[in-house]
Chain A
Amino acid sequence: DSGVTQTPKHLITATGQRVTLRCSPRSGDLSVYWYQQSLDQGLQFLIQYYNGEERAKGNILERFSAQQFPDLHSELNLSSLELGDSALYFCASSATGTGNQPQHFGDGTRLSIL
C-alpha cells in the first residue's frame, strides 16, 4: 500500500461528458503529480502541484484541469471527453516535489469512454 488514495477505481462514461478524479496524497507529502497512461503506452506527465500551487505542466490538454486544495488532496477534471481519453490516470505524491525523492503512486482510475 503506497498510502496514495485514488477514487473512483473505475469510471465509465460517454463522449462529451465531464468527470472528476480525486487523489489523496501520502500523509506528509506536499506535492501531487497526475499522469495518463493509455493501453501499452508509457506514463505521460500531465501536471504537478506543490502545497496548493501549480509547479509544472506537461502535455495536459486544455479540456483538462486540476487543482490542489488546502488539505492537499487534488482533483483532475476532464471535460468534453473523447474516445481517446480512455486511459489509466495515476496520481503520485512526494514529500517536496524537488526531483530527488521518489514518487509514490496510487492504484489509478481506469476511465473508459463509450
Chain B
Amino acid sequence: GQNIDQPTEMTATEGAIVQINCTYQTSGFNGLFWYQQHAGEAPTFLSYNVLDGLEEKGRFSSFLSRSKGYSYLLLKELQMKDSASYLCAVGNYGQNFVFGPGTRLSVLP
C-alpha cells in the first residue's frame, strides 16, 4: 500500500521562510509532486522531483530523498497570497497518484 504523511497546519509570518515536510511509503516510486490549493479552488501544480536533490523554481524549492522517503517544499519570502493548502502527491508505476492529506499554511502579517 501507500501512505503519505504531512503536518496538518502551519503558521508563518509574511516575508519569512517555511518548510513543509512530506514523508511517504510506496512501491514503484515514479516521482513526487507538490500542489498548491486555495480554499474552494482547484489544485495547481508546483513542482516535480524524481531524482534526489533540490529543485528550485523562483520562491519555491522542493527537495527529495528517495532512500528516506522524504520530501519538503520550501517557500521563501512568504506573501499573504501563499496562504493555502499544500498537497504532496506520489506517482508510481502502478497507475495512479496518491495525494497526501495536505498542509494548511496560514501567512500572518
Identify the closest chain B residue to A104 (Cβ): B45
Complex Cα–Cα for A105 and B91 (A)? 16
What's the dominant secondary structure at chain A's contact region? loop
The interface on chain A, measured as residues whose beta carbon lies within 8 A of the other chain's beta carbons, has a size of 24
Contact A99 B45, beta carbon cutoff 8 Å: no
**Closest CB-CB distance, B73 to chain A, in whole Å?**
14
Query: Least Cβ distance of B99 to chain A in Å?
Result: 5
Report the minimum CB–CB distance from B106 to chain A (whole Å).
14
A45 and B42 contact, Cβ closer than 8 Å, known pairs A98-B30, A99-B93: no
- Inter-subunit contact B31/A90 (CB<8 Å): no
Q: How far in angstroms is the closest Cβ of chain B from A67?
A: 17
Which B residue sits closest to A54, measured CB to CB? B95
Q: Which residue of B lies closest to A106 (CB)?
A: B42
Residue of A nearest to B101 (CB): A42
**Docked CA distance A24–B40 (Å):** 20
